[in-house]
Amino acid sequence: MRLRRWIAGVSVAVALHAAESLPVPLGLDAYVPAPDANPLTRKTVELGRRLFFWPGLSRDGTLSCGGCHQPERAFTDGRSGAVGVRAQVNARRTPPILNRAWGRAFFWDGRAPTLEDQVLQPIVNPKEMDLKLEEVAPRVRAERALGEAMRAVFGREAETADVARALASYVRSILAGDSPYDRYVAGDREALTEPQRRGLHLFRGKANCVACHLGPNLTDEAFHNTGTGWKDGGWRDRGRYNVTHDEADLGAFKTPGLREVARVAPYMHDGSLRTLDEVVDFYDQGGRPNPNLDPELRKLDLTAEDKRALVEFLGSLSGKVHEGWPGSR
């Protein structure tokens, strides 16, 4: 009897646990990682979602996170430079924020070590949302329904750290997978067309893309110099070097994941390449020559058919993008 009760107790606990974990689309690791100090829950994700789309986090109340990271564009904005409050144009492009729960450092130069740290930076960046850090919590508290929701989740009057926790939870809930590529890898040989299969073969072989774009998210989460930061004989953007001051990092940027890549043009940290054809041409030429070019890049001698196949393959990385907690809306 006691044993039976114990077993029932365990299975209830297991069921509760299962009910509280975020479903992951085909192609990604089974669990979405989150730090112990900020467990991923339905409540924090829902709250983070409200904050993400709330323009009250910007100086003039016109721009939310979602104004630049637009869900219908795989969380990008289609611009080569992000546009902040008062129409200020930034030097870098809005990156897609997909599967960032698995990220190791954030921003194109990796200057933010955690998502909790990252999510506050656009709010206080004068060229993006332009608030002062000390204005964040009072603003949230002053928006009554939001302030109450914060209190319900965190058990105290809203603090900046809670805003960061909620936003980071929502960002972790943005998952992209379940693409033809994933179905192919899972064993469905018909999921890719013949040119896409040829493109995958090139991606893994002759074109050497997997030297940097690998794993479930097609990125090594590391920093490489492809030459995009070098223009007219000088550095336009020193990239990772600005963070480490190590010469080996001059002009290095974080390898972006390639999920939904066909939907997130223009490409690279500065949006300087308009189409995937231009990206493939760029790599065919071995990147852009500069004093610190990554040794993995070299002229590829791709045929016109090879290039078409690679672009077709990149198209097979578009599947479904999930955001928020399922069943919450």
- Interface residues toward ligand HEC, by CB under 6 A: 52, 57, 63, 65, 67-69, 82-84, 90, 92, 94-95, 97, 100, 103, 106-108, 118-119, 122-123, 128-129, 167, 171, 207-209, 211-213, 224, 226, 228, 253, 255-256, 258, 261, 264, 267-269, 279-280, 283, 294, 296-297, 310
* Alpha-carbon dihedral sign for residues 79, 84, 85, 86: negative
CA distance 107 to 170: 17
160 or 193: whose CB is closer to ligand HEC? 160
Distance of CA 313 to the CA centre of its chain: 20
128 or 323: whose CB is closer to ligand HEC? 128
Residue 144 contacts by C-beta under 8 Å, 6 or more apart in sequence? none
User: Least distance to ligand HEC from the beta carbon of 185, Å?
Assistant: 17
CA distance 173 to 52: 12
8 or 142: whose CB is closer to ligand HEC? 142
**8 A C-beta contact, residue 203 and residue 210:** yes
**8 A C-beta contact, residue 152 and residue 46:** no
**8 A C-beta contact, residue 138 and residue 116:** no
User: Least distance to ligand HEC from the beta carbon of 72, Å?
Assistant: 16
User: Least distance to ligand HEC from the beta carbon of 42, Å?
Assistant: 19
User: Least distance to ligand HEC from the beta carbon of 234, Å?
Assistant: 16
**Which amino acid, one-letter code, is at 46?**
E
**Which amino acid, one-letter code, is at 242?**
N
**Which amino acid, one-letter code, is at 72?**
E
* Alpha-carbon dihedral sign for residues 231, 293, 272, 89: negative
**8 A C-beta contact, residue 261 and residue 222:** no
13 or 90: whose CB is closer to ligand HEC? 90
User: Least distance to ligand HEC from the beta carbon of 310, Å?
Assistant: 6
9 or 291: whose CB is closer to ligand HEC? 291
User: Least distance to ligand HEC from the beta carbon of 265, Å?
Assistant: 8
27 or 315: whose CB is closer to ligand HEC? 315
Q: What are phi and psi of 57, to 5 degrees?
A: -85, 5
52 or 184: whose CB is closer to ligand HEC? 52
CA distance 319 to 24: 13
CA distance 33 to 329: 23
User: Least distance to ligand HEC from the beta carbon of 295, Å?
Assistant: 8
